[in-house]
Amino acid sequence: MPNTLRIALYGSGRMGKAIETIAEERGHTIGLKVDSRNAGTAPLGCDVAIEFSRPEHAMDNMRICLANRVPVVVGTTGWYDKLNDVKAMVSQYQGALLWASNFSIGVNLFFRVNRKLAGLMDKQRDYRVRIDETHHIHKLDAPSGTAITLARDIDLKTGRYAGYALEEHGQLQGQEQVQGPVVIRSERTGEVTGTHTVTWTGPNDRIVMTHEAFDRGGFALGAVVAAEWIKGRSGLFTMDDVLDEV
């Protein structure tokens, strides 16, 4: 078991509560909890921060953690268009920040399989790809950060796909192409924790990969493991860096 950490937790939603439970089970202490009532509170006296708030608050929370020399693990999505700004902040403060669209160990292994398959499928020009993702009705962003990561990795590993296109109300149904943007279909229903499916369809067969989360425990555990890993480091990291060592 790693050394005990004093953790600053930014975000009091369902993921925040799950992270608190897992952290305490692993012997850590929640030294600070920040939500809308005490927004802007610095993580003084804490060893590491975990940020799972809302997209509109994420940048400010990252900045205050880095400015106070507290390493921060960021699970909030919806801010990735500002990634270059985050890189600049990490450099400015010579701090440490680890971000991921999904902290589940299983999902991050799923990412690796997705990249491998995309590379293999690039030359199979008769196959077209699409991504389907389903989450609970409380999730604010669509498509999910996980779906965007899957699409980005397909983009990086192929020469015929670039970016993604969100299917809304079925207007792209059946229109996914052998090149162009990766079509993503997002659904928000009930209390579904999270399901992501990558489908490659050819003229004679179909390859389907699915990751289904049963609960939030896997996400929370991954975030706490990342917090344990990042203490004492400096730089900008992702869960790939954690998986390479843990």
Q: What is the CATH number for 200?
A: 3.30.360.10
Residue 28 lies in a domain: yes
Per-residue pLDDT 10s for the chain (246 aa) are 458 999 999 998 888 899 999 999 999 999 999 998 999 999 999 999 999 998 899 999 999 999 999 999 999 988 989 999 999 999 999 999 999 988 999 999 999 999 999 999 999 999 999 999 999 888 877 898 889 999 999 999 999 999 999 986 555 555 557 788 999 999 999 888 889 999 999 999 999 999 998 988 888 999 999 999 999 999 999 999 999 887
Residue 93 lies in a domain: yes
Q: Does the annotation count 135 as an active-site position?
A: yes
Domain that holds residue 65: 6-103+216-243
Q: Are β-strands 96-99 and 72-74 bridged in parallel, bridged antiparallel, or unpaired?
A: parallel
Q: Is 202 found in the same domain as 170?
A: yes
Q: What is the CATH number for 228?
A: 3.40.50.720
Considering its fold, how many domains does the chain have in total? 2
Q: Is 190 found in the same domain as 176?
A: yes
The Cα-based distances of 20 to 6, 33, 60, 101, 191 in angstroms read: 11, 10, 21, 19, 20
Q: Does the annotation count 82 as an active-site position?
A: no
Q: Is 231 found in the same domain as 191?
A: no
Q: Residue 2: what pLDDT?
A: 58
| Catalytic choice (57, 135, 196, 211) | 135
Q: Is 133 found in the same domain as 123?
A: yes
Are 207 and 200 in contact by the 8 Å Cβ rule? The answer is yes
Q: Is 164 found in the same domain as 87?
A: no
| Catalytic choice (139, 169, 211, 231) | 139
Measured CA to CA, the distance from residue 124 to residue 26 in angstroms comes to 46
Residue 1 lies in a domain: no
Q: Is 201 found in the same domain as 189?
A: yes
Residue type, 86: V
Q: Is 120 found in the same domain as 26?
A: no
| Burial of residue 211, with CB atoms counted within 10 A of its CB: 0-12 exposed, 13-18 middle, 19 or more buried | buried
Q: Residue 53: what pLDDT?
A: 92
Measured CA to CA, the distance from residue 199 to residue 170 in angstroms comes to 17
105-121 vs 217-230: helix crossing angle, rounded to 10: 90
Q: Is 89 found in the same domain as 133?
A: no
Peptide bond into 143 cis (omega under 30): yes
Residue 153 lies in a domain: yes
| Torsions phi, psi for 95 (to 5 deg) | -105, -165
